[in-house]
Amino acid sequence: MNAITPNTPSLPAPVGLLAELTHRCPLRCPYCSNPLELDRRSGELDTATWQRVLTEAAGLGVLHVHLSGGEPTARSDIVEITQTCAKLGLYSNLITSGVGGALAKLDALYDAGLDHVQLSVQGVDAANAEKIGGLKNAQPQKFAFAERVTQLGLPLTLNSVIHRGNIHEVEGFIDLAVKLGAKRLEVAHTQYYGWAYVNRAALMPDKAQVDQSIRIVEAARERLKGQLVIDLVVPDYYAKYPKACAGGWGRKLMNVTPAGKVLPCHAAETIKHLEFWYVSDHSLADIWANSPAFTAYRGTDWMKEPCRSCDRREKDWGGCRCQALALAGDAAATDPACSLSPLHSKVRELAKEEAAETPPDYVYRTIGSNVDRVAPPPLKEDAPL
Amino acid sequence: MTAPFPTPKTDESQRLLSPEELEAALRDIGARRYHNLHPFHRLLHDGKLNKDQVRAWALNRYYYQAMIPVKDAAVLARMEDASLRRVWRQRIVDHDGDAPGDGGIERWLKLAEGVGFRRDYVESTQGILSATRFSVDAYVHFVKERSLLEAIASSLTEMFSPTIISERVAGMLKNYDFITKDTLAYFDKRLTQAPRDAEFAIDYVKQHATTPELQRQAMAALTFKCNVLWTQLDALYFSYVAPGMTPPDAWTPGTGLVPEVAQAAGTGTIRSGDVPRLPRGVRLRHDEVRGQHVLLAPERTFDLDANAVAVLSLVDGQRSVRDIAVKLAETFTADPDVIEVDVLAMLNDLATKRVLER
């Protein structure tokens, strides 16, 4: 194991690997975290390559593998891949929509040693949920899937991405999680990258709705203590400080795309000047330590003011680089979600304006589209600081 | 070979029995057919039923208890003699009480609550087996439709109940840790009420069954009543013991329980006697790269110190918290009581995070 220890002494080993096995998905959620340019099936890594990547990940210190997508069960080798995780002692987490062929493969995944299931739910009301996910009859499939997960004794987490189209259902998501026997619920306010950035005006809730949703979650946490754990991700645009994106750039997480490109976070490809390495050309350890994309914003040396002298710089690591690029036009700027960013008040205003307007129709995610041109432009400072 | 449940002879020419012979014949029916002989009751008394099977019994039996005053009111309505009514009405008082919170039905509800049910769920009777409802309703119809003699004779199962009650109370207290003396308060009262009621009824039957035909009817009525009780246990056995065929609308484990009990399926406060376990999806692992033990759980990793590793290594789904504390006390030559406090604090913290169950 020591042979592949990264060559920077202070470099922590990654704990998580987000394995985006495929970009194919029966759902078309308008806030999908996949990039706008989706990989096609023909470009996907084969089974043996994924198995090699997982073996390298285990050696590098990865503990959790998130089998994601797209819809990971769309891969015909999902059971084999899960088995490999179990053999290597890696904790396998299936991040699934629960629709399509997911249920049919669940028992085999259980037998293969799957550790945990995270099931997405788009809404509580079926019609609303199916409008958001862009797939008819998805809701009953999800419920049947959840029922089988708990029948098998697998731990179930429900993941609900919250936006103005379902923020009135937060209480309902909590009840649903209890009813479906979930142990965890993620009430995750939309983060505005990728497809969600394109659809921002259709998704942005107003401040009062956000505050109300937080109060509901806090009350439910107390009421359901010991029964349901609720993780709350508050929306960036209304926060005081940004999140340490992916636990800090190149500190905890590696993301491997369907085609084998390795990213520090799932949105990193939006930063066009970064050079990403592929698992076909480099070992995972080499990529973690030396890939230009990973070293670009690792640590604090790259920071500008106000991050550079900020005492929170090793807490939130400057926030999200992708958001800094999207909103400030500079990936090395302070994340404008931070109240110390000169653009912060603009971000708040923008959220307020968008939330007040009639929401436009969703731009559904789809393979082979070219929606870059409809993405909102970066903000401009009125005057230099 | 004699049939296990012979019906009384229908021979009209049988001779008239003396009152003592009639009582002996009635007691013989009980000796052969009373439901203390039913396999389900044997399992109950011997502590062989699990908690959910005891719950099924308590839930279904509630309907019988609740309908007893309805049955007795029907009997009462047919009595034209005030002195008879004065005696019989006591049965209704015993069951309904003189005020809310009093009486046999209330005490049965306490029993049902004692095994974890919500009172409103029990009172709704929505989860009972159809066979329970049919049997009990048949009993109510019987006392309305048959002669007063037959109605009174059908109550004579009370002659046999003190035996079953003492067996039941002793057996259940001994064998079930979730049954307390308070839970079984219903039976305390019945130990004195039943013989008093039975004494009156047997005297009435002996006095009024004055022809072979009336004596035959009295015996048939008691046999019918034994079958009302027996059938209810057949249905419980069929549905909740073997083959376990529960009808679609009947109660299934986990429903109708008070929230704390519903949670107790794995969650809630862990106490000294509880057996903790790591559920599927939570694993203790040595992380070679970082040279430490970690607890892997859904979407999170817990870094463990040496103490936590020592405790979690002993969490095997077999040992109780107490066993773990005693074992650690041996290893570290310490006071198990002191260690147990720390172990409980740690395990309950993990239980709150939903990564440890019991």
> Residue A267 to residues A81, A251, A254, A362: CA-CA distances in angstroms?
24, 16, 12, 20
> Residue A120 to residues A19, A191, A232, A254, A330: CA-CA distances in angstroms?
17, 15, 15, 22, 32
Query: Which residue, among A333, A165, A154, has the nearest Cα to A242 in the 3D structure?
Result: A333
Mean pLDDT of the residues in chain B: 88
* A-B Cβ pairs (cutoff 8 Å, strict): 65
Asked if A221 is an interface residue toward chain B (Cβ–Cβ < 8 A), one would say: no
Q: What is the pLDDT of residue B226?
A: 97
Q: What is the mean pLDDT of residues B42-52?
A: 87
Q: Which helix (H) or strand (E) holds A283?
A: none
* Closest CA in chain A for residue B286: A89
Cβ atoms of A240 and A337 closer than 8 Å: no
Q: Is the pLDDT of residue A4 over 50?
A: no
Å between A308 CA and nearest CA of chain B: 30
Which tens digit of pLDDT belongs to each residue from A343-369? Answer: 888 888 888 888 888 888 888 777 665
Asked if A381 is an interface residue toward chain B (Cβ–Cβ < 8 A), one would say: no
Nearest-angstrom CA–CA distance, B344 and B358: 12
Which tens digit of pLDDT belongs to each residue from B148-182? Answer: 999 999 999 999 988 788 888 887 877 776 677 77
Asked if A1 is an interface residue toward chain B (Cβ–Cβ < 8 A), one would say: yes
Å between B311 CA and nearest CA of chain A: 20
Q: What is the pLDDT of residue B147?
A: 96
Asked if B291 is an interface residue toward chain A (Cβ–Cβ < 8 A), one would say: no
Nearest-angstrom CA–CA distance, A303 and A1: 33
Asked if B268 is an interface residue toward chain A (Cβ–Cβ < 8 A), one would say: yes
Confidence class for position A98, pLDDT limits 50, 70, 90? very high
B12, two tokens:
């009209």
Confidence class for position A372, pLDDT limits 50, 70, 90? low
A23, two tokens:
């970009």
B 83-122 residues with CB below 8 A of A? none
For residue B269, which residues of chain A lie inside 8 Å, CB to CB?
Answer: 226
Range of A8-17, A78-87, B300-309 with top mean pLDDT: A78-87
Which tens digit of pLDDT belongs to each residue from A184-233? Answer: 999 998 888 778 888 888 888 888 888 899 999 998 988 888 889 999 98
Nearest-angstrom CA–CA distance, A357 and A349: 12
Nearest-angstrom CA–CA distance, A288 and A262: 9
For residue B281, which residues of chain A lie inside 8 Å, CB to CB?
Answer: 115-116, 154-155
For residue B299, which residues of chain A lie inside 8 Å, CB to CB?
Answer: 64, 93, 116, 118, 157, 184, 231
For residue A61, which residues of chain B lie inside 8 Å, CB to CB?
Answer: 287, 289-290
Q: Between residues B348 and B57, which one has the greater pLDDT?
A: B57
Q: Between residues B218 and A197, which one has the greater pLDDT?
A: B218
Asked if B299 is an interface residue toward chain A (Cβ–Cβ < 8 A), one would say: yes
Å between B71 CA and nearest CA of chain A: 40
Å between A117 CA and nearest CA of chain B: 8
* Closest CA in chain B for residue A222: B352
Asked if B192 is an interface residue toward chain A (Cβ–Cβ < 8 A), one would say: no
Asked if A11 is an interface residue toward chain B (Cβ–Cβ < 8 A), one would say: no
For residue A13, which residues of chain B lie inside 8 Å, CB to CB?
Answer: 289-290
In our burial notation (b when 16+ CB lie closer than 10 A, e otherwise), range B52-78 reads: bbbbbbbbbbbbbbbbbbebbbbbbeb
pTM as predicted = 0.65
> Residue B85 to residues B75, B199, B224: CA-CA distances in angstroms?
9, 15, 24
- SS3 assignment for A44-67: CCCHHHHHHHHHHHHHHCCCEEEE
Which tens digit of pLDDT belongs to each residue from B65-107? Answer: 999 999 999 999 999 999 999 999 999 999 999 888 888 999 8
B60, two tokens:
């279904």
B283 and A115: CB-CB below 8 Å? yes
Which among A60, A93, A184 has CB closest to B354? A184
Candidates A116, A120, A156, A157: best to mutate against B (most CBs of B within 10 A) is: A116
Q: ipTM score here?
A: 0.87
Confidence class for position B210, pLDDT limits 50, 70, 90? very high
Confidence class for position B261, pLDDT limits 50, 70, 90? very low
Cβ atoms of A285 and A6 closer than 8 Å: yes
For residue A225, which residues of chain B lie inside 8 Å, CB to CB?
Answer: 352
Candidates B288, B289, B356, B357: best to mutate against A (most CBs of A within 10 A) is: B289
Q: What is the pLDDT of residue A370?
A: 57
Q: Is the pLDDT of residue B263 over 70?
A: no
String of DSSP letters for A85-113: HHHHTPEEEEEE---TTHHHHHHHHHHHT
Which among A60, A63, A228 has CB closest to B294? A63
Candidates B261, B284, B299: best to mutate against A (most CBs of A within 10 A) is: B299
Q: What is the pLDDT of residue B22?
A: 95
Which among A115, A184, A227 has CB closest to B263? A227
Q: What is the pLDDT of residue B266?
A: 56
B301 and A61: CB-CB below 8 Å? no
Q: Between residues B192 and B229, which one has the greater pLDDT?
A: B229
Nearest-angstrom CA–CA distance, A160 and A167: 10
Task: Name the least confident of A271-285, A322-336, B213-227.
Answer: A322-336
Which among B268, B283, B289 has CB closest to A226? B268
The backbone torsions φ and ψ at residue B227, rounded to the nearest 5 degrees and listed phi first, read -70, -35
A63 and B285: CB-CB below 8 Å? yes
Which among A1, A61, A183 has CB closest to B298? A183
For residue B290, which residues of chain A lie inside 8 Å, CB to CB?
Answer: 13, 61
For residue A93, which residues of chain B lie inside 8 Å, CB to CB?
Answer: 298-299
Q: Is the pLDDT of residue A1 over 70?
A: no
Asked if B296 is an interface residue toward chain A (Cβ–Cβ < 8 A), one would say: yes
Asked if A89 is an interface residue toward chain B (Cβ–Cβ < 8 A), one would say: yes
Which tens digit of pLDDT belongs to each residue from A297-311? Answer: 998 989 988 999 998
Cβ atoms within 10 A of the Cβ of A53, count?
25
Task: Name the least confident of A361-365, B206-210, B279-283.
Answer: A361-365
Which among A1, A61, A93 has CB closest to B299? A93
Q: How many CA atoms lie within 13 A of B210 on its CB side?
A: 3
DSSP B284: E
Q: Is the pLDDT of residue A239 over 80?
A: no
* Closest CA in chain A for residue B348: A226
Mean pLDDT of the residues in chain A: 88
* Closest CA in chain A for residue B357: A226
Which tens digit of pLDDT belongs to each residue from A248-283? Answer: 999 999 999 999 999 999 889 889 899 999 999 999
Asked if A115 is an interface residue toward chain B (Cβ–Cβ < 8 A), one would say: yes
Q: What is the pLDDT of residue A278?
A: 96
For residue B351, which residues of chain A lie inside 8 Å, CB to CB?
Answer: 226
> Residue A224 to residues A236, B297, B353: CA-CA distances in angstroms?
26, 19, 11
Asked if B294 is an interface residue toward chain A (Cβ–Cβ < 8 A), one would say: yes
Q: What is the pLDDT of residue B155?
A: 95
Asked if A153 is an interface residue toward chain B (Cβ–Cβ < 8 A), one would say: yes
Which among B281, B289, B301 has CB closest to A155? B281
% of chain B beyond a pLDDT of 70? 93
For residue B267, which residues of chain A lie inside 8 Å, CB to CB?
Answer: 226-227
Q: Which helix (H) or strand (E) holds B283?
A: strand B283-287
% of chain A beyond a pLDDT of 90? 51
Candidates A11, A106, A184, A230: best to mutate against B (most CBs of B within 10 A) is: A184
